[in-house]
Chains A and B, each alone.
Chain A
């Protein structure tokens, strides 16, 4: 089409013959399709389409043709480009081939609509939307696929991922949203228009892209299609490449462990959990022939003569019995036992904060260790203390404390030391609430220092919410509308913080240790208690002035100036006859393991919000107090319960037990949890051994994790110092995960990384595939996955002509396969 003819069309705006108009329109549309339409032509198109319905129809038909051709061609996939590896790009033959087959056999897909749908779904997702929504589909599919396990059609194909710059969850929908950038980064070879929109620097040479393009073939089968076949371990390839020096399952060298040496935790008393169970499900256990150490029939468990039949002395037996009763009452059956692989992964994540290392998976799946052995090992690991310190530091000061001078690092270290030494929790609470001094001399001060803004209102609210499981902050301004909470109660509690102040002292030589990265800090905060007395004053909604004296749970404190009120409060709540600290801690710990606590929200306990299983909560709290507020013991009880041995998969028989839909949690299964950002980070490093090639010291590693994690954090900037992380599993988090440099280095095939080792190992292909699967997903690949992966391998290698090319092709294929495993929904969840 020449410029003349186009100009012609634009100028002859007055033509009113229908045929002329159509010819004109045809030219403009053609110009449009080739991106050559001028502004005048666009204006004319505008006119024609608005005015004339025949033109509109033609326009839409043309658009359909253009769009369908474009869409279908996309099916063939993107140009493969290797990711972060020295592997050279290979010719894009495959793309051509598949488009060829589409075009040459156009009727086949029509005859087989199911197949077409699958193909178009998969390929479409592959490159049309570069990842963003795609990831969402993957995650949604995962959420939907696991818990319900019912017979379901294959989930739609899910593509992998995107690449791109830091995706900030907070600014997602903005104009320069990462989605747009990602997409271009993903397809640097798209049209000029696309290229012009971005500074060249952001167009990155397709890291992530190739992976995306090439693995989709494998992936849907892997992570989606057969989310949970009946036979878990059907593929049992002997593994000749077992590491020579495989140590105990959990005591393996773990790059994540702290430099902290663990004080030996108290030897746990052996619970009777193992003799106890729900008999009804034994039949189901045949699905999991390997599930070891499962509790056995409960009916044989009869307590001592003093026991009622339904009041066993053993705490785990008691919990099991109560939960079982609850299931009966609710008319549900619990989910079947989790396979060993599912259980191992979960218990690692819950206790240690990361997935099991490959060696631990090998040891457990191939060995004879019992579940209780694993639990015992994990409780002794330094990672246990590290994990719980992370959890509580996040709760106490957030991932990104805003108050100046507050050091999350030091608080975390304080917690780590406390948990490692198995310091009773009530003592930790006492320390936190009564702390005085500067962060460097007393790291426990960081908690309150982080919340002394706004006249210590947040300090009051956080202490109540986190440590006591009580929400008083709303009663700051008014009586609670639904509960007996009076406004006065908040102020009575706040009255304990009346003397508390933050002052500044000149920074010492150690100042740099407190400054969280911000060098040159000259003053450090100090937490002090002034010697003042008297009540606090507050105003009711009617404008009346009231006074509040320090009163906690009926205990009145001398309001004189010589009494340190905060210390008194700490003493009161840490006392064993005040069960609130224990109740709050048990509830939250239970939530950590099961995904839901006994109350929702977990930190709003009180008569207005009765717990779902009051006896279980009360009993655990009593036992927790009796154990000396022993976190390890509490963890051991919880992971020994029958309920914790069960799969996270929802069955038709317990479909109603779905707290996500608002039902009270019945704990007939373990609810699916998205990994936290920290878990995701540590697990990625562990699975890929990315770090072992660039190992640095612990502090540095910890800081890097925190930097990474901060991408997910947003502070609400409210009076209550709230902070939210976008949970793993959200679109944004997935994006960050996929784009991050650690993921790229994780896929390097250098020696020392998992991938590097697997590529170089002299073992069968299926063994290699199994190693990758065990490393990423802590389980054996399913036969369909093995087949898909083998096919992928074969297809790659078949194109190679020389030995060297063959090796490269194989490495590339393994890289794709590993990526598919890491990128599976299954990876980012605790299940």
Chain B
């Protein structure tokens, strides 16, 4: 008898034992999982999609998660598989990293998780210190759905000059973050 009249005969089960802890962990680790996936599939839109697929699996398998263990590591294992699945789907596309790349990056990304929170905080501080016009450009560029190209059109600037500005600003931010982290490490 495959059927259970108790109403639990579902294909996609909502884990009944799901508790707040799981929900919180899930929410807490969304950003890191996204970054983890993004490292392996560097297009944010694609990465989002993979994250979405990953999330579905995470819910489906939530009963296999042992509370108290490393949620991120557990989630990463699922994410890695989803990244590979997505690769298979996109095989025909030209811009595809090798499997070795995905593996190497996944390993490293998982290890570097500890500093992520600091990095994020540093980023916020660094954003605040940008020149207003630079901050504006970054804001436009990362507004949902925008790209360097669309921003250039909005601003009536040549695309190349916008790319150059973005490159400069991102570099500034990266260096600022690095400095702040170094300073924090010393303090």
User: Which residues of A are interface residues toward B (Cβ below 8 A)?
Assistant: 1-2, 26, 30, 32-37, 39, 42, 45-46, 49-50, 53, 56-57, 59-74, 76-79, 95-96, 99-100, 103-107, 109-110, 117, 120-121, 124-125, 127-130, 132-133, 136-137, 139-141, 143-144, 152-153, 155-157, 169-170, 172-173, 175, 177, 179-180, 183, 187, 189-194, 471, 473-474, 588, 591, 595-597, 600-604, 659-661, 673-674, 714, 716, 718, 720, 722, 724-727, 729-732
Contacts and interface: CB of A to CB of B under 8 A. Distances in A.
B20 A78 contact: no
A714 B97 contact: no
B112 to A, nearest CB: 6
Contact of A66 (B1, B44, B59, B96): B44
Given A42-B95, A49-B101, A65-B123, A175 B15 contact: no
Given A33-B170, A68-B123, A156-B27, 8 more contacts: A30-B166, A66-B44, A79-B145, A107-B128, A170-B11, A179-B53, A591-B5, A722-B2
Contacts of B89: 175
A36 B164 CA distance: 13
> Which among A74, A78, A674 has the greatest number of chain B C-beta atoms within 10 A?
A74
Contact of B17 (A96, A194, A661): A661
B7 interface: yes
Contact of A110 (B6, B23, B124): B124
Nearest to A138: B23
A809 to B, nearest CB: 22
Nearest to B95: A42
Given A64-B35, A140-B18, A724-B11, A128 B101 contact: no
B119 interface: yes
A190 B144 contact: yes
B147 A724 contact: no
B74 interface: no
23 contacts: A1-B167, A32-B42, A46-B97, A61-B178, A63-B109, A67-B38, A77-B144, A79-B144, A103-B127, A103-B135, A124-B30, A128-B34, A129-B55, A133-B58, A136-B14, A156-B27, A169-B11, A190-B144, A191-B43, A661-B16, A720-B3, A722-B2, A732-B11
B94 to A, nearest CB: 5
Nearest to B111: A60
Contact of B108 (A57, A125, A673): A57
A722 B51 CA distance: 34
Contacts of A471: 1
Contacts of A673: 7
B26 A137 contact: yes
A30 B10 contact: no
Contacts of B105: 49, 56, 59-60
Contacts of B53: 173, 177, 179
Contact of B116 (A26, A64, A722, A725): A64
- Interface size grouping (class) on chain B: 35 or more
Contact of A714 (B11, B13, B124): B11
Contacts of B141: 69
B23 A137 contact: yes
> What are the nearest 8 A-B pairs in CB distance?
A133-B55, A106-B124, A73-B142, A660-B16, A156-B27, A189-B145, A106-B128, A602-B5
A121 B24 CA distance: 9
Contacts of A732: 11-12
A136 B56 contact: yes
Contacts of B45: 190-191, 193-194
B143 interface: yes
A722 B3 contact: yes
A56 B40 CA distance: 11
Contacts of B145: 79, 187, 189-191
A46 B101 contact: yes
Nearest to A189: B145
A467 to B, nearest CB: 14
B5 A63 contact: no
B153 interface: no
A570 B96 CA distance: 67
Interface of B: 1-7, 9-20, 22-24, 26-28, 30-31, 34-35, 38-39, 42-49, 51-53, 55-56, 58-59, 89, 94-98, 100-101, 104-105, 108-109, 112, 116, 119-121, 123-125, 127-128, 135, 138-139, 141-145, 147-149, 160, 163-164, 166-167, 170-171, 173-174, 177-178
A125 B34 CA distance: 12
Helix, strand, loop or mixed for chain A's interface? helix
Nearest to A676: B7
B14 to A, nearest CB: 6
Contacts of A155: 20, 23
Contacts of B135: 103
Given A34-B163, A42-B96, A70-B44, A127 B144 contact: yes
A70 B145 CA distance: 10
A39 B31 contact: no
A731 B12 contact: yes
A95 B143 contact: yes
Contacts of B30: 121, 124, 128
> Which among A64, A143, A179 has the greatest number of chain B C-beta atoms within 10 A?
A64
Given A56-B104, A128-B30, A603-B5, A144 B148 contact: no
A807 B164 CA distance: 45
B59 A136 contact: yes
B42 A63 contact: yes
Contacts of B95: 37, 39, 42
B5 A26 contact: no
A166 B110 CA distance: 36
A172 B59 CA distance: 13
A78 B143 CA distance: 9
Contacts of B39: 59-60, 63
Nearest to B177: A65
A46 B6 contact: no
B120 A104 contact: no
Nearest to A108: B124
Contacts of B104: 49-50, 56
Contacts of B127: 103, 106
A731 B10 CA distance: 11
Given A35-B43, A175-B89, A117 B125 contact: no
B177 A602 contact: no
A32 B108 CA distance: 19
A103 B95 CA distance: 32
Nearest to B90: A197
Contact of B109 (A60, A70, A132): A60
A829 B94 CA distance: 47
A724 B160 CA distance: 56
Contacts of B20: 141, 144, 152-153, 155
A100 B127 CA distance: 11
A469 to B, nearest CB: 10
> Which among B47, B58, B100, B127 has the greatest number of chain A C-beta atoms within 10 A?
B127
Contact of A26 (B49, B142, B171): B171
Contact of B174 (A65, A189, A731): A65
A60 B170 contact: no
A141 B148 CA distance: 38
B163 A30 contact: yes
Contacts of B7: 595, 673-674, 727
A659 B17 CA distance: 11
Contact of B121 (A70, A110, A133, A725): A110
> Which among A39, A173, A716, A731 has the greatest number of chain B C-beta atoms within 10 A?
A731
A723 B27 CA distance: 34
A121 B6 contact: no
A600 B5 CA distance: 8
Nearest to B98: A46
A133 B52 contact: yes
A71 B31 contact: yes
Contacts of B23: 137, 140-141, 144, 155-156
Contacts of A144: 18-20, 23
A729 B104 CA distance: 39
